Amino acid sequence: MRTLSYAEAINEGMSQALDLSDDVVVLGQLVDTSGVFGTTKGLVQKFGKQRIQDFPVSESLMTASGMGAALAGMRPVLVHHRLDFMIYAMDSITNWLSLWRLKSNGDSRLPVTIRAVIGKGWGQGPQHSKSLHAWFAHLPGMRVAVPATAHDAKGLLMESIFGEDPTIILENRSLFSMIDEVPEHPYRVPFGHAAIRRIGHDVTIVALGIMVPLALRAGVQLAQKSIDAEVIDLRTVSPLDRESVLASVRKTRRLVVADPGWRSVGVAAEVIALVSENLGRDLRSNPAPNFTRPPPGTIFFALPRPTRRLAQKSQSSLERITSMAIEPAATGVTNMTGAGRPLPESLSSITALSPAIVCST
């Protein structure tokens, strides 16, 4: 199968959706000229400015316009260069978009897709480095996806555009160059179906978004210590695939959660609560959460060489995942069924990191 980068897969998904339905339109600042990191490149030349529309710097107005277009029968895709800019539209998203179907008693729907890019990992500073997936997962009626692979970036986007519910897709800029096998034909990845990225029997690592390739690297390092880790990619946080998480932990009886969000009231806390409530007496050790961000209230200082420090932070996260998986798996480790592939020199390919990939598509 041919391979595409994460950004190329998004671009292809957008193009194919526009081809499949004249109701699909794209709104966003400079989506016609800047290309938004390659994800909208060439679309205005193919589909014209009526369907690929540059929008003023007014995120709230853009969201309201997308809602109006959806009510008129369109399927708008709203594009934000940074997740943080989308916060200006929180009234429209929180009080209207997410609740519209409920307010209408199910008689009216708003198939609006919102793409938002997370800047963490290349010197973007604290404003552009947040991943607010837990925020949006709290909203009733809103679907939230955090794709970790190019395959899922395209498939979840197509599912969102042609679904009937409003959706927020959070894309980590650091993943845009990662390569994956992506089918040429249009396809949809269903929400609420996690993917087993690595099969194992000793410990379950549940990961999301940018933490998935780190969890896979940790799996390879753990295999060198005769610890067989299973890596679960949640894909979406609303809905959350509880059954896949429980099935894996029921087998391994140990859990590590790698969440790109905040420590408090986040997805990791939700997963740990889920496992503790259902399998607490069967666990061999306490669940171990790993986060890329400290608890709220931590003071940030402007430091020199932010890119280098962010790279060091990424390496620190990898080491933390590995050490946390070793600690709960230290007792009663079963015989390893496979050592996996050698650790790649870079995170250039998600496929190279996965000795066994099972996609629920």
What are the catalytic residues?
A: 128
> Is residue 345 exposed (0-12), middle (13-18) or buried (19+ Cβ within 10 Å)?
exposed
Pairing label, strands 167-172, 113-118: parallel
Whole-angstrom distance, CA of residue 279 vs CA of residue 89:
39
Distances (CA, A) of 43 to 11, 17, 109, 234: 8, 11, 27, 30
323 and 153 Cβ atoms separated by less than 8 Å: no
Secondary structure of the chain in the HEC alphabet? CCEEEHHHHHHHHHHHHHHHCCCEEEEECCCCCCCCCCCCCCHHHHHCCCCEEECCCCHHHHHHHHHHHHHCCCEEEEEECCHHHHHHHHHHHHHHHCCHHHHCCCCCCCCCEEEEEECCCCCCCCCCCCCCHHHHHCCCCCEEECCCCHHHHHHHHHHHHCCCCCEEEEEEHHHCCCEEECCCCCCCCCCCCCEEEECCCCEEEEECCCHHHHHHHHHHHHHCCCCCEEEEECCEEECCCHHHHHHHHHHHCCEEEEECCCCCCCHHHHHHHHHHHHHHHHCCCCCEEEECCCCCCCCCCCCCCHHHHHHHHHHHHHHHHHHHHHCCCCCCCCCCCCCCCCCCCCCCECHHHCCCCECCC
